[in-house]
Chain A
Amino acid sequence: MAAWDLTVTVEDLGPDAPPLQISVTSDLHIGGVILKLVEQTNLKRDWSDHALWWEQKQQWLLRTGWTLDKCGVHADARLIFTPQHKPLRLGLPNGATLKMRACFSSPVFRTVMGICRVLNLRHPEELSLLRPVEEKKKKKDKDSSEELYDLTDVPLTAGSVQALYNGMPAHFADSPKTEAVYKMLSVSLPSPAPEAIAKLYRPASIVDKTHIHTRWLDSSRSLMQQGIQENDKLGLRFKYYTFHDMDPKYDAVRLTQLYEQARWAILLEDIDCTEEEMMLFGALQYHIGKQSLSQDMVSSCQGMDDLESALKSLEVKMVGDGNSTDMLDNMTAPELNDHLKIFRPKRLTLKGYKQYWCKFQETSISYYKSKEDRYGEPIQQLNLKGCEVAPDVNVAGQKFCIKLLIPAPEGMNEIYLRCENEKQYSQWMAACKLASKGLTLLDSSYQSEVQNIQTFLSMQRSSSAAPTSQTDESINTHSLVSPRYQKKYKPKQLTPRILEAYQNIAQLSLTSAILKFLQIWQALPDFGISYFMVRFKGSRKDEVLGIANNRLIRIDLGVGDVVKTWRYSNMRQWNVNWDIRQVAIEFDGNINIAFGCVNADCKVVHEYIGGYIFMSTRAQQQSDTLNEELFHKLTGGHEAL
């Protein structure tokens, strides 16, 4: 057989080195070509990761057993000998950029699996890669200042079982640098400065939202095939909004990154929420941020109630075991006694605050005309169990009021308590808060509640100063809400509202707070809907198709109203006519729909629908191995099979 010259560029020889010419025959298999090539370079190194990339055809020659003839390679082919794993800059859900090696030759689905294995993210099928928003030219110079986390030295391990070391996967425990990366991955980042949020791209309409989803990569083709070059930037995001088998024990990174993605979705108004919901999200962000900073301090507030702890210490005493004098001291029921000003708003009265001697005991406040009267009958006793407590505070104006709405058969009794100073306020406020839940001052959470309130007050004090991002104590509440609410409220107005929401969640642990955040996010009506601009067959105008985990939604572009909903459970089959790029779906009851995609590739839509159906099969098969083949079958990824 005639020998001919094959031109191969070896990247490792440097960009200026001329391509190598090797003499081959058509029946030489790829492995043979590589062997010849390596011999000719005279370089001693590990070539095992290298493979041949055929530039004109945009494909990898990975089957080493195939002959050149079978691959269709002829003398005109320009091949490149290059590593399959290359560094990639990954934009993570939390906004950080991480440089790490990823596989450029396997289908993106598998590449993501590899990335997730390194990052210790379970269920990689829920994530995918997408191209970043095109950045404007002038931002280019800013790029250099961007903080980069580097994981390129960490080898991609093949094993799926991760050994834990120091509470993190072993490959992160190698050096302080990688440990820092793991911390970045598993602990939520401080709140950004409000200006930073305002500067970022926000979708202004549902049409804008459809653009996000045009950027997803094709899961069945490799990065190289999709034009991604070494050191390019891609975003790693949760793509399918069904989070399987979430377990805080194993999912530290997954939970944190999901929380970050949800947080940014809310801050950037990707998903709409009401004002009340935004305040709660803000409060949770504040709480999570604070807890993340002091993660080591594990609060030990067990649910042991007063009586039982008292009895326990009693028993210890009885058995005569150790000295427990202090325990007994603790058991004298604590109470608060102080002068407070009380105001009961009534219609047609101009009476203001009047000073009384107040006693807080158990869950009630008793007040007396003066301190001297305190042993007599109180003027009134207010039982706070079940009442609503709201702060009415203005630190600058030195106004520390507690508004109580105490339920009574006739309605709610509205009562204001005015405190002299921050200290008094935080003590009484904490007591009121606990009492409304039926807890007394004895409860172990009392001290931390007092502390929380003080911290929050100091936050209000500092918010009038120049806005800064979250530091140890202070935080600008503007960084907790989306730009819409930044515009609507001054920090001074915003803080009390977030404080109000904060009171109900202040006792949550870090993990529960994150879970709560995700829960509320998932309960939003628009949660988990990915939008695509489509044109239905027989229709003349563009419409929006929403794809959720259980249904397809047809949305009128003009009004934004839901026109029709189809559920996957009624779906008989769907297919794609690749020639006219049209998706056709048949539902029960002979309902057929067909549509073409206006701005996205219809493969993306196809993959979304098939992907959700794949996700729903996971519940049944509880095995750990991912059925890659099924995924590609369902998502039309025949190329990868």
Chain B
Amino acid sequence: MDDIDAMFSDMLQEMDLLTQSLGEEAESAPLPKPPTIPGPQEMNFSVGFTDFNASLHDLEDNDLDALMADLVADISATEEKFATEKDTLKGSAPVAPIPSQPPSNLSFPGSSSTLRQATSSNSIAATPPPPTSKPSKEELEEQIKADKIKLALEKLKEAKVKKLVVKVEIMDGSSKTLMVDERQTVRDVIDNLFEKTHCDCNVDWSVCETNPDLQTERGFEDHENLVEPLSTWTRDTENKVLFHEKKDKYEVFRNPQNFYMWKKDKKSLKDMKEKDKEQLLEENFCGASVIVPDLEGILYLKEDGKKSWKQRYFLLRASGLYYSPKGKTKASRDLVCLVQFDNVNVYYCKEYRIKYKAPTDHCFILKHSQIQKESQYIRYLCCDDEWTMTLWVTGIRIAKYGKQLYDNYKAAVRKAAGSATWASRSIQASSSASTPSPTPKARAANGHAPQPAVETKGSSNQTSFPPPPASMETLPPPPPDPMLPPPPPAPPSTNKVNQFPPPPQFPQSSFPPPPMDDLPPPPPPPPEDSELPPDFLPPPPPIFSSCGGEALPPPPPDPIASLPPPPALQNFASAGGAPPPPPPPPPPPAPAPAASKPAGSVRKVAPPPPKRTTPQLAAPSGGDLMSELMTAMQKKRTQ
């Protein structure tokens, strides 16, 4: 029994470190990994930057703040969830962990008072029991054990979640950087961006990817996950993530007649009654199977490996894209299948007249999402005009996604309606929103109190939340200090994608972890540092943080005290008792490269990644811990 207890304590400690470092990660976004975590496996990396340094440079102060807010909210939500569960379970026998998905959107009651409660319960929940001592409280041992298990499970889940820092370009050329975790759908990300950009929240806003090599653009569907497709981008990719309005995203649901009765004169369809449109949608999207628009007509198909484009008579069916070979009828039995949609996505293309000598510029391609360069596995198609292209691309989307698309639309409409009502309310409320004094911790999170709460909330609840706080833009961002040292070097990664501090792994060798309950981590000297390019300075000494600037992230918190660390300077006092800060992430150097041109000279500095033919993605971290536990238990059993 003692064995197990001890092991559990160890495990919990590990967990705490892990959660901690998650918080730390927020502050120090692209910093070298904390020293306590040896041999990182890739977990988090950034997208939208040509390389690691670029991402560092591009992080603006407020981005950094926001990012951190995201992270802190993440963590505290997990803690809170556990805390509440603990409360409800008190006195009951050990209960099996609820094998539910981790919450895909973290629900937070809105007001700052509940936030305070949440964070204060954190400190209880997060307290790791000292490794050897028995719990001193009078609670039943069983109870504690159950709690520990639950805590461990929660943390394990949180640790397993892959996160990406994504830079999203907005139409006006500006950009936002946000943290996206793998559980979030594109819809969640859009909601998040609504909060950040204060646009009009209409249903046409979409997150798109562009590929300059192929000159393509595709809007992600709202139900898709963002992390997965972005993870397959190559390290040196110049692909971008955009956030803008796309008229054709849901046009089929506003004017279904234009798609389902495309053969008719468009003018005669213009005045279709709303009731008839609804009926069309009902017929085509609400039956046992979704009916795909019966598109057919001549398109140009680029021949395999050749430069020529050949006219073919194409037909769209639910099962795929077909054409009728020369001299045959268009009867189903004679059709030849060009492609089925299970494994491909459809992309709009730009300027293919020049690039591929296409007959017109209205081209679309079908390809596997991982293909990033010209390839024989891409199907190139060209239409006579833009409307035809929209028709086909939309038709293919319907064939591929079916009813999901309609559900997405309905959710988007609800969301838009919800935000419209509270956007108007927020105007009067915004002044008061910033006045209630938040908890120190909440303020500390990003120097702007209610932000994290609202941000997380936004994704979970559209109707009932309070007015949004004053926008980030209203606060002047902390001035960048030109005197700051250059950013610390990137940890040379074994994987091809940029990474920043991963959540701790538990490699086999390091189980029980070094005790570090109250010791500050030493500055990180990863062994690979010796290969650093010369233009990098070693990580700045800790002292910098105290005089460095407002945006500097704080020290890692004392794990016993509380989890979300206070990052801003003005709150340093409150964290005064904390141990000396770890190497802080300095704010980006003053001349940050333009958002649109992230490449430049910086890229050359980055150590080239080892080549790999097959992208190897993040390995799950939980497994290592599990196998550790396993071996430990097996050992125990054999004794």
Answer yes or no: A542 CB below 8 A from chain B CBs.
no
A160-168, A213-221, A406-414, A572-580: which lies at the interface:
A406-414
For chain B residues 62-106, which have a beta carbon within 8 Å of chain A?
A: 94, 96-97, 99
Mask: chain B, 210-238; 1 = CB below 8 Å from A; 0 = not:
00000000000000000000001110000
Name the one of A331, A406, A411 contacting B376, with C-beta atoms under 8 angstroms: A411
Answer yes or no: B375 CB below 8 A from chain A CBs.
yes
B14-22, B317-325, B478-486: which lies at the interface:
B317-325
Name 30 A/B residue pairs within 8 A (Cβ), A-sorted.
Answer: A272-B331, A274-B332, A274-B335, A277-B332, A311-B153, A312-B96, A314-B626, A314-B629, A315-B149, A318-B145, A328-B633, A332-B627, A364-B616, A381-B612, A381-B616, A386-B343, A405-B377, A407-B232, A407-B368, A409-B234, A409-B615, A412-B371, A518-B288, A518-B289, A519-B288, A520-B318, A523-B290, A524-B318, A525-B294, A525-B332
Answer yes or no: A58 CB below 8 A from chain B CBs.
no
Residues on the A chain within 8 Å of B99, using CB: 304, 308, 311-312
Name the one of A246, A274, A380 contacting B614, with C-beta atoms under 8 angstroms: A380
Residues on the B chain within 8 Å of A411, using CB: 371, 373, 375-378
The B interface is mostly helix, strand or loop, or mixed, namely loop
Residues on the A chain within 8 Å of B408, using CB: none
Mask: chain A, 219-249; 1 = CB below 8 Å from B; 0 = not:
0000000000000000000000001001000
Mask: chain A, 491-526; 1 = CB below 8 Å from B; 0 = not:
000000000000010000000000100111011111
Answer yes or no: A335 CB below 8 A from chain B CBs.
no
Contact B373 A409 (CB under 8 A): yes
Interface residues on A, range: 35 or more
Answer yes or no: B639 CB below 8 A from chain A CBs.
no
For chain A residues 146-165, which have a beta carbon within 8 Å of chain B?
A: none
Name the one of A243, A331, A410, A484 contacting B333, with C-beta atoms under 8 angstroms: A484
Mask: chain B, 317-349; 1 = CB below 8 Å from A; 0 = not:
111101000000101110101001011000000
Residue among A280, A314, A362 with most chain B CB within 10 A: A314
For chain B residues 604-639, which have a beta carbon within 8 Å of chain A?
A: 612-617, 619-620, 622-623, 626-627, 629-630, 633-634, 637
> Closest approach, in angstroms, between the C-beta of B189 and any C-beta of chain A?
21
Answer yes or no: A273 CB below 8 A from chain B CBs.
yes
Contact B614 A381 (CB under 8 A): yes
Answer yes or no: B160 CB below 8 A from chain A CBs.
yes
Residues on the B chain within 8 Å of A413, using CB: 613-614
Residues on the B chain within 8 Å of A405, using CB: 377
Mask: chain A, 277-291; 1 = CB below 8 Å from B; 0 = not:
100100000000000
> Closest approach, in angstroms, between the C-beta of B329 and any C-beta of chain A?
8
A13 to B234, CA, bound (A): 91
CB-CB under 8 A for A277 and B288, given A311-B153, A319-B94, A411-B377: no
A407 to B613, CA, bound (A): 11
How many residue pairs link A and B with beta carbons under 8 A? The number is: 156
A569 to B280, CA, bound (A): 10
A624 to B574, CA, bound (A): 68
Residues on the A chain within 8 Å of B319, using CB: 274, 276-277, 280, 520, 523
Answer yes or no: A325 CB below 8 A from chain B CBs.
yes
Contact A383 B337 (CB under 8 A): no
Contact B290 A331 (CB under 8 A): no
A381 to B617, CA, bound (A): 12
A residues engaging B (CB < 8 A)? Answer: 243, 246, 272-277, 280, 304, 307-308, 310-312, 314-315, 317-319, 325, 328, 331-333, 362, 364, 380-383, 385-386, 388, 405-413, 484, 504, 515, 518-520, 522-526, 550, 560, 569
Mask: chain B, 141-162; 1 = CB below 8 Å from A; 0 = not:
0100110010001001000100
A311 to B97, CA, bound (A): 8
A415 to B622, CA, bound (A): 31
Which chain B residue lies CB-closest to A519?
Answer: B289
Contact B279 A569 (CB under 8 A): yes
Contact B333 A274 (CB under 8 A): yes
Q: A307-B160, A312-B97, A412-B377 are in contact. List 20 more A-B contacts (CB 8 A).
A: A274-B317, A274-B319, A277-B332, A280-B319, A307-B623, A311-B153, A312-B96, A314-B629, A315-B94, A332-B627, A382-B614, A388-B343, A405-B377, A407-B232, A411-B376, A519-B288, A523-B319, A524-B318, A524-B332, A569-B276
A431 to B620, CA, bound (A): 19
Residues on the B chain within 8 Å of A380, using CB: 613-614
> Closest approach, in angstroms, between the C-beta of A481 and any C-beta of chain B?
12
Name the one of B160, B290, B376, B615 contacting A408, with C-beta atoms under 8 angstroms: B615
A310 to B629, CA, bound (A): 11
A314 to B625, CA, bound (A): 12
Contact B289 A409 (CB under 8 A): no
Residues on the B chain within 8 Å of A274, using CB: 317, 319-320, 322, 332-333, 335, 337
Name the one of A319, A332, A383, A484 contacting B615, with C-beta atoms under 8 angstroms: A383
Name the one of A325, A333, A381, A407 contacting B637, with C-beta atoms under 8 angstroms: A325
A380 to B612, CA, bound (A): 9
Answer yes or no: B4 CB below 8 A from chain A CBs.
yes
Answer yes or no: B370 CB below 8 A from chain A CBs.
yes
Residue among B160, B343, B622 with most chain A CB within 10 A: B343
Residue among B320, B332, B622 with most chain A CB within 10 A: B332
A312 to B100, CA, bound (A): 12
For chain B residues 21-48, which have a beta carbon within 8 Å of chain A?
A: none
Contact A525 B370 (CB under 8 A): no
Which chain B residue lies CB-closest to A568?
Answer: B279
Answer yes or no: B287 CB below 8 A from chain A CBs.
yes
Mask: chain B, 471-506; 1 = CB below 8 Å from A; 0 = not:
000000000000000000000000000000000000
Name the one of B291, B373, B627 contacting A523, with C-beta atoms under 8 angstroms: B291
> Closest approach, in angstroms, between the C-beta of A255 and any C-beta of chain B?
11
Which chain A residue lies CB-closest to B261?
Answer: A565
Residues on the A chain within 8 Å of B386, using CB: none
Contact A409 B276 (CB under 8 A): no
A126 to B626, CA, bound (A): 56
Residues on the B chain within 8 Å of A273, using CB: 332-333
Residues on the B chain within 8 Å of A331, using CB: 626, 630
Contact A310 B370 (CB under 8 A): no
CB-CB under 8 A for A523 and B318, given A307-B626, A332-B630: yes
Residues on the A chain within 8 Å of B369, using CB: 386, 407
Contact B335 A310 (CB under 8 A): no
A525 to B145, CA, bound (A): 60
CB-CB under 8 A for A410 and B373, given A312-B99, A520-B318: yes
Which chain B residue lies CB-closest to A385?
Answer: B617
A386 to B344, CA, bound (A): 11
Contact B289 A412 (CB under 8 A): no
Residues on the B chain within 8 Å of A275, using CB: 333, 335, 337
> Closest approach, in angstroms, between the C-beta of B305 and any C-beta of chain A?
11
Contact A407 B322 (CB under 8 A): no
Contact B289 A407 (CB under 8 A): no
Name the one of B94, B288, B372, B612 contacting A410, with C-beta atoms under 8 angstroms: B372
> Closest approach, in angstroms, between the C-beta of A380 and any C-beta of chain B?
6
> Closest approach, in angstroms, between the C-beta of B92 and any C-beta of chain A?
13
Answer yes or no: B283 CB below 8 A from chain A CBs.
yes
Answer yes or no: B292 CB below 8 A from chain A CBs.
yes
Residues on the B chain within 8 Å of A362, using CB: 619
Contact B368 A412 (CB under 8 A): yes
A304 to B629, CA, bound (A): 21
Contact A276 B320 (CB under 8 A): yes
> Closest approach, in angstroms, between the C-beta of A362 and any C-beta of chain B?
8
A328 to B287, CA, bound (A): 47
Contact B153 A408 (CB under 8 A): no
Residues on the A chain within 8 Å of B615, using CB: 383, 408-409
A273 to B322, CA, bound (A): 12
Which chain B residue lies CB-closest to A383?
Answer: B614
> Closest approach, in angstroms, between the C-beta of B86 and any C-beta of chain A?
16
A168 to B343, CA, bound (A): 42
Residues on the B chain within 8 Å of A277, using CB: 317, 319, 332
> Closest approach, in angstroms, between the C-beta of B486 and any C-beta of chain A?
31
Residues on the A chain within 8 Å of B234, using CB: 409
Contact B317 A525 (CB under 8 A): yes
